[in-house]
Amino acid sequence: MEEILTQAKEQMEEAVELLASDLKTVKTGRAKPSLIEDLTVKAYNDQSMTLKELASISASDPHCLVVSPWDKNILKDIEKAIAVSELQLSPVIDGDLIRVKIPPLTEETRRDLVKLVNQKIESGRQLIRQVRNESKKEIEDLEGQSGVSEDDLHRWLEELQQLVDQYSQKLEDLGQQKEKELMAV
């Protein structure tokens, strides 16, 4: 039984981590390296690598990211990857660096991004519900086995529900934090 709950907890933790990393990619109008660090860059004979593997990324001010590639020969590849990304950013090559201006968000864009965050939170909830349903089925399958009473089943299902509540709250907290970040002007 402990194995079922431990496995459920691990899967729920993965869902929260997945959501947290997904929320990092939602732009907030502020320059944060996490916004672009996981972009895929085709460099070195079309080999795909993440931007953080190819360059250092820093925020020179609240509205500008500076990308400094370790190999200056791939400046154009990095610029292209940033330009064609879904983030709709306009990188500019400045000597050996790439500067990426982060435009301020309009009120309408902020509201759209809050809707996007809420969709991502709902996806996280669905993952947690899926884990709960699978674990619940495993627990219910133990019914009738020797040494397993109805009280045991009830207690285990309550423990599972407590895990679900705990991780659902973590998702909510992440969503509220990101929403607050988005709505701050």
9 DSSP assignment: H
For residue 103, the model assigns a pLDDT of: 83
Residue 32 has pLDDT above 90, yes or no: no
SS3 94: strand
Q: Is the pLDDT of residue 102 over 90?
A: no
Given a contact cutoff of 8 angstroms between Cβ atoms, the answer to whether 27 and 39 are in contact is no
- Taken in order of first residue, the domains within the chain and their CATH numbers are 2-24+106-183 (1.10.132.20), 33-101 (3.30.1360.40)
pLDDT score for 7? 94
Cβ(104)–Cβ(28) under 8 Å? Answer: no
What mean pLDDT do residues 91-99 have? 92
pLDDT per position as a tens digit, 141-173: 888 888 888 888 899 999 999 999 999 999 999
**Is 185 a residue whose pLDDT tops 70?**
no
pLDDT per position as a tens digit, 71-90: 999 999 999 999 998 888 88
Looking at residue 35, its pLDDT comes to 85
Strand order in the sheet with 90-94: 55-61, 64-69, 97-101, 90-94
